[in-house]
Amino acid sequence: MSFHQRHYDTTTNSFTYKIDGVPLEHVESYKDLGVLFDPFLLFDEHISKIVSKAYSMLGVIQRNYLETVLSFYIKV
């Protein structure tokens, strides 16, 4: 992955990086220490994944809380 500015044209200006003559695989994003990096150093994809996980967990909490509250009132 190469880091560059947002208006940089990646289709015409691509580089092949090599280590010991072996070309490195080109990736669109890379996760390091739990943070997703993209070529423009924007964190949109990272933030979207975190928000998605948070909403998923919120749904689990809401479903379990609602079941707990309803079962408490039905037993009384």
For the chain, the domain total comes to: 2
Over 70: is that where the pLDDT of 37 sits?
yes
Say whether both 27 and 17 belong to one domain: yes
The conformation of residue 60, written as its DSSP 8-state character, comes to H
14 and 29 in a single domain? The answer is: yes
> Which residue, 34, 32, 35, 57, is CA-closest to 44?
35
Do 38 and 6 fall within a single domain?
A: yes
pLDDT at 16 over 60: yes
Per-residue model confidence (pLDDT) at position 55 = 94
What confidence tier does 65 reach under pLDDT thresholds 50, 70, 90?
Answer: confident
Are residues 19 and 47 located together in one domain of the fold? no
Amino acid at site 29: S
User: Do 44 and 38 contact (CB within 8 A), yes or no?
Assistant: yes
- Beta-bridge partners for 36: 31
pLDDT of residue 43: 83
Position 53 scores a pLDDT of: 93
Residues 1 and 38 in one domain: yes
For residues 6 and 33, state if they share a domain. yes
Shared-domain flag, residues 14 and 32: yes
**Rounded-to-integer distance, Cα 39 and Cα 28, Å:** 7
Whole-model pTM: value is: 0.55
- Domain interval for residue 71: 43-76
What does the block give as tokens for 10? Answer: 């990646």
